[in-house]
């Protein structure tokens, strides 16, 4: 079974631009969660999608948004990029129901904002 894939793996953007990151979950997984990882703040939860609906979100500004498609693939968008948005963005998938607590992570997208 193929793992979680994220594209692109690396990205360099300029302040003020916007960026879209993509995540394809493991086949059959309906839940996709996004995390931001920085040296200073550690791993922080952004949001979680299940069956195309956002079920939960963390404490990030509205510049961070996401969506999920009918095939469970998810995208995350960051508008008006700031230097502090430079981070490793990880997505994780799981079945999303029952006791399916285990999450499977993708390799991440490393975003650098200059």
Query: C-beta of 98: minimal distance to another protein in Å?
Result: 12
* Minimum distance, C-beta of residue 80 to another protein, in the bound complex (Å): 25
A 10 A CB-CB count for 56 gives 11
Give residues 50-79 in contact with another protein (rule: CB under 8 A): 50, 55-56, 58
Nearer to another protein, 14 or 101 (CB): 101
d(CA 52, CA 24): 13
- CA 103, chain centre distance (Å): 13
Q: Which stretch binds another protein (CB under 8 A): 17-25, 60-68, 76-84, 88-96?
A: 88-96
Q: Which residues contact 67 (CB under 8 A, 6 or more apart)?
A: 49, 52, 74, 75, 77
**Interatomic CA distance for residues 17 and 2, integer angstroms:** 32
As measured in angstroms, the least distance from the Cβ of 88 to another protein is 6
Which residues here bind another protein, judged by CB under 8 A?
A: 31, 33, 35, 42-45, 48, 50, 55-56, 58, 88, 90, 92, 99, 101-108, 110
């Amino acid at each position: 079974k193929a793992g979680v894939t994220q594209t692109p793996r690396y990205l360099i953007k300029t302040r003020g631009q916007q960026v879209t990151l993509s995540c394809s979950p493991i086949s059959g997984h309906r839940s996709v969660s996004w995390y931001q990882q920085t040296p200073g703040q550690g791993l922080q939860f952004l949001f979680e999608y299940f069956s195309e609906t956002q079920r939960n979100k963390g404490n990030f500004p509205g510049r961070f948004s996401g969506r999920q498609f009918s095939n469970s693939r998810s995208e995350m968008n960051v508008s008006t990029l700031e230097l502090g948005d430079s981070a490793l963005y990880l997505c994780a998938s799981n079945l999303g129901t029952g006791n399916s607590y285990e999450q499977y992570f993708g390799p991440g997208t490393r975003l650098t904002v200059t």
